[in-house]
Amino acid sequence: LAKTTQPISMDSYEGQEVNITCSHNNIATNDYITWYQQFPSQGPRFIIQGYKTKVTNEVASLFIPADRKSSTLSLPRVSLSDTAVYYCLVGPWVIGGYQKVTFGTGTKLQVIP
Amino acid sequence: AAGVIQSPRHLIKEKRETATLKCYPIPRHDTVYWYQQGPGQDPQFLISFYEKMQSDKGSIPDRFSAQQFSDYHSELNMSSLELGDSALYFCASNYVVAGPSTDTQYFGPGTRLTVL
């Protein structure tokens, strides 16, 4: 599984856009990039997933450059409720089997009023 | 929508006791994963089951064992509990189809185990 590197923590004011970048230099051809959000004492929650270019859903956008060695999670206009730990995970497609999700050290986002 | 159910939500045990944590995956999900998250730490993968067979093993102590039953629920059995076993234990599930799939897992609310 590809190793990921993210900033340990970030602060942002309410209403701002937050970009969290994850490095994954040894990403493999069949690896997807997935981001999870975790609030204190709760289970991680899927946010977004992508393979290349840009993916957008109702919660966030994910930007992946052509070389796929990094990815950026973009949260538009954050609110206090977005204060959480954000994990970037890189893992392969699975065909007819299982997969192991390896959590690295996530980014603790603190949104300030 | 139905979510992953874990029971109990909180558990307090003494050292050297045993504990059993239960996980009920989302209906039709065939794969279950167990994670341990210590205070201030990131989740660590313990073990997973696909179609009732152990599919992968992570940093699970020999004192722990787990299984997945015919109804796809899973139980994590922990014996000779130590103080260091105090943690949040998460179960996750997904449905691994016979085709390209990705690692989106649905996590339960967790069981908080406290060993005194």
Q: From CA A48, how far away is CA B113, in angstroms rounded? A: 30
What is the CATH architecture assignment of B5-115?
Sandwich (2.60)
Q: How far apart are the first and last CA of chain B?
A: 36
pLDDT band at B67 (very low <50, low <70, confident <90, very high): very high
Domains of chain A with bracketed CATH: 9-112 (2.60.40.10)
Coil, helix or strand at residue A82: helix
pLDDT over 90 percentage in chain A? 69
Task: Please name which of B22, B15, B8 lies closest in space to residue B77, comparing C-alpha atoms.
Answer: B22
pLDDT band at B101 (very low <50, low <70, confident <90, very high): low
Closest partner residue to B58 (CB to CB) among A87, A100, A106 is A100
Each residue of A55-103: pLDDT tens digit?
999 999 999 999 999 999 999 999 999 999 999 998 876 655 556 667 8
Taking residues B26-33, what's their average pLDDT? 89
Taking residues B61-70, what's their average pLDDT? 96
Which distant-in-sequence residues (6+ apart) come within 8 Å of B32 by Cβ? B23, B25, B48, B49, B68, B72, B73, B74, B91, B92, B93
Nearest CA in chain B to A42: B109
Whether the predicted pLDDT of B90 surpasses 60: yes
At A49, which amino acid appears?
A: Q
- The predicted structure's pLDDT at residue B102: 56
Output the average pLDDT for chain A. Answer: 90
Q: How many CB pairs under 8 A join A and B?
A: 80
Interface test with A, best of B52, B54, B103, B107 (most A CBs within 10 A): B103
Q: Cβ separation of B92 and A99 shorter than 8 Å?
A: no
Domain coordinates in residue numbering, chain B? 5-115
